[in-house]
A and B are shown apart, each in its own frame.
Chain A
């Protein structure tokens, strides 16, 4: 192996403070809206209108339009909820944990990873509300002095979920916004357009970039990073409790929290790559999002993928080792039951195919990484499908077995959230700096303090 002694640069040489700022801010300020953007946004917007239609019909008719029924009371809604919230995890991991670990390569991808987190959390947050029988009473989930004088059931992990997800959403939004402030000020100062100046100016909240501003800013940003760090672990842990606290075979396992968190980061990085690869291509940002970023993200995927593999192994092992007939039946049912095809598909897409990431060439090849990331996203979706549906559809009593078939409304809602997510991403790319300008500047040789 001819491993190079120094890793590939985080930012290609030859840039100065000025050129970095020019390059990133011009995407928002001076670059004309391209046809490609219009087409992409238009399609994504139309698909998200499909979501609106599906949700409107859901409100009219109720959850009966979905495929859920006893015994499978949790169908696509929960599968998609867990999938989306998992995808969101990469943003927080990149922005908070990698910041605290001083992984400066994160600076080029943290901004859009955080934006992706926000949009993914928004998509995730819809599903638990939509799957309520009476979604307009969703505020009952929160403890407030209500006229029923009852509190939510605090012993239920579903209530913990409300707090976990809403805290996560809030902190992610704050973190993202605080990170944007200096860049918003840059846009305000560089914008030629009066309206843009006012909007960016309002959002920049009077940022002047004085030394005192920066000192306070760094403190606030670090504090938020500290707050966000435990959330990376806690949110998906709590989501896994939704399952693990119950006594259903396939859900009732202690491996769930770590394996869910690893799976979340796994799918999150896959989504980051699926977005980063086309973005850097279309906007010509290969100098900022370099092969090193691809390589590092691929390594994270490989590592978390192996943790997930260990989780699958443990589940299978416990099915045999516990001697519990229901646990061992679950394993049998996964391998030979009516949904066995999806279980094998899951094993192939989540365990087998990602192993090619051991090959260095593939870790730096945008084309292959894009494909593998797509496969992983499908695999992680299938994982949640297996967990939710296969566990529910055949439990203790043979008389209560059943099958789950998603309806067109299930699909429309799911695909609709993907459209919503992409439409939000398109708007973000057009209206805000997708790479943190001021953090990129700190990566330049110019920024290094030299001892005299």
Chain B
């Protein structure tokens, strides 16, 4: 007596064959999912009490990063400006704009504006802005083209693989210190060579390698040691 229909042969073969693909797709999918904005929030604008536009203030008005983020060169924390910094200008211009009412309210009451943190590293990571700035890591290397962000979002995934990408080969990203706050900095190429200490560079690797020495970067073994960031 036959228990199974003749088609079972085909179905079982297809199942065995298909299982390989299904498992492969599931694995691939979960690897992609881990890196997707759904998990990392990369390039997803966060709601803020006031829709502050970096594009307008940086690219449009030409305000330097350090005008607001005052402690970025000397402290681990770049600093969120107090309401007074906003009011330096906004007591004069757009002083009646309804959009800025929360700013004025904060100024009147003395209660800080509560911004939503965008570039938020996990608490088990020790991060220091000043060391990165002083060793020649540009703002936009990590934060992306902030001068083209009408609403703020984190440009990078902020995952450990992203940190290690630079920590394992810092010469790929370093730039001269005076270019750190230049949001439109371009790495040297044969078309646009860069000059440093009287020497001309036509590619990033040779410039970066020299900067590693010039700025006395710790060895890759040091800066990729677990306890450098997980203290």
Q: Are A150 and B12 in contact (CB under 8 A)?
A: no
Nearest-neighbor residue (CB-CB) of A194 within chain B = B3
With an 8 A cutoff between CB atoms, is B55 at the interface?
A: no
Q: Which B residues touch A205, using CB under 8 A?
A: 12
Q: Say yes or no: is B87 at the interface (Cβ < 8 Å to chain A).
A: no
Q: For residue A278, give the distance in angstroms from its CB to the closest CB of chain B.
A: 35
Contacting pair B34 A147 (CB below 8 A): yes
A423 CB to nearest B CB, Å: 29
B67 within 8 A of partner (CB): no
A150 CB contacts on chain B under 8 angstroms: 160, 164
For the complex, give the distance between the alpha carbons of A198 and B5 in Å: 11
CB distance from A119 to the nearest CB of B (A): 25
Q: Does B94 contact A (CB under 8 A)?
A: no
Min CB gap B154→A, angstroms: 15
Please, how many angstroms separate the alpha-carbon atoms of A149 and B31 in the complex? 12
Whether A188 touches B164, Cβ cut-off 8 Å, given contacts A145-B31, A148-B159, A205-B12, is: no
Q: A144-B31, A206-B9, A206-B12 are in contact. Are A149 and B164 (CB under 8 A)?
A: yes
Chain A CB within 8 A of B4 CB: yes
* Contact of B160 (CB < 8 Å), options: A144, A147, A194: A147
How far is it, in angstroms, between the C-alpha of A450 and the C-alpha of B92 when the chains are bound?
A: 112
**A147 and B35 in contact (CB under 8 A), knowing A205-B12, A206-B9, A206-B12?**
yes
CB pair A147 B9 closer than 8 Å: no
Q: How many residues of B sit at the interface, in one of the four size bands?
A: 10 to 19
Complex-state Cα separation, A197 to B35, whole angstroms: 46
CB neighbours of B157 from chain A (8 A): 147
Given the complex of chains A and B, what is the CA–CA distance between A201 and B157 in angstroms?
50
Q: Does B161 make an interface contact (CB < 8 A)?
A: yes
Residues from chain A with a CB closer than 8 A to the CB of B159 are 147-148
In the assembled complex, the Cα of A62 lies from the Cα of B165 at a distance in Å of: 33
Q: In the bound complex, how far is the Cα of B12 from the Cα of A149, in angstroms?
A: 38
B132 to chain A, nearest CB (A): 19
Binary interface encoding of chain A residues 24-56 relative to chain B, with 1 for a CB under 8 A from any of its CBs, else 0: 000000000000000000000000000000000
Inter-chain CA distance A186–B9, complex, in Å, is 19
Q: What residues on A are CB-neighbors of B161 within 8 Å?
A: 146-149
| Contacts A197-B3, A205-B12; A149 near B34 (Cβ below 8 A) | no
Interface residues of B: mostly helix, strand, loop or mixed? helix
Do the beta carbons of A188 and B3 come within 8 Å of each other? yes
Q: How far is the CA of A244 from the CA of B152 in the complex (A)?
A: 54
Interface centre among A144, A147, A149, A198 (most CB of B within 10 A): A147
Of B3, B4, B9, B160, which contacts A149 at CB under 8 A? Answer: B160
Query: In the assembly, what is the distance between CA of A201 and CA of B31, in Å?
Result: 36
Q: Which residue of B lies closest to A198 (CB)?
A: B3
A144 to B34, CA, bound (A): 12
Closest partner residue, chain B, to A148 (CB atom): B160
**Distance in angstroms between the alpha carbons of A145 and B165 in the assembled complex:** 14
Nearest chain B CB to A449 CB, angstrom units: 32
**Is the beta-carbon distance between A201 and B160 smaller than 8 angstroms?**
no
Nearest A residue (CB) for B35:
A147
- Docked complex Cα distance between A144 and B157 (Å): 18
- Which chain A residue shows the least CB distance to B165? A149
- Least CB separation from A188: chain B residue: B3
Within 8 A of A (CB), among B1-56: 3-4, 8-9, 12, 31, 34-35
Interface residues of B in 150-168 (CB under 8 A from A): 157, 159-161, 164-165
8 Å CB contacts to B: which residues of A129-148? 144-148
Chain B 176-193 residues near chain A, CB threshold 8 A: none
A-chain residues with CB within 8 Å of residue B164 when the two chains form the complex: 148-150
The digit string for B80-121, where 1 denotes a CB below 8 A from any CB of A, is: 000000000000000000000000000000000000000000
| CB-based contact A201/B165 at 8 Å | no
**Contact partners of B4 in chain A: CB under 8 A:** 198, 201
A149 to B4, CA, bound (A): 49
Complex alpha-carbon distance, A312 and B161, angstroms: 47
A139: nearest chain-B partner, CB-CB: B30
Task: Across the interface, name the chain B residue whose C-beta is closest to A147.
Answer: B159
B152 smallest CB distance to A (angstroms): 23
Residues of chain B touching chain A, judged by Cβ–Cβ distance below 8 Å, are 3-4, 8-9, 12, 31, 34-35, 157, 159-161, 164-165
Sample 18 A-B pairs with CB under 8 A, ordered by A number: A146-B34, A147-B35, A147-B157, A147-B159, A147-B161, A148-B159, A148-B160, A148-B161, A149-B160, A149-B164, A150-B160, A150-B164, A188-B3, A201-B3, A201-B4, A205-B12, A206-B8, A206-B12
User: 13 additional contacts, CB 8 Å, given A144-B31, A147-B161?
Assistant: A147-B35, A147-B160, A148-B159, A148-B161, A148-B164, A149-B164, A149-B165, A150-B160, A198-B3, A198-B4, A201-B3, A206-B9, A206-B12
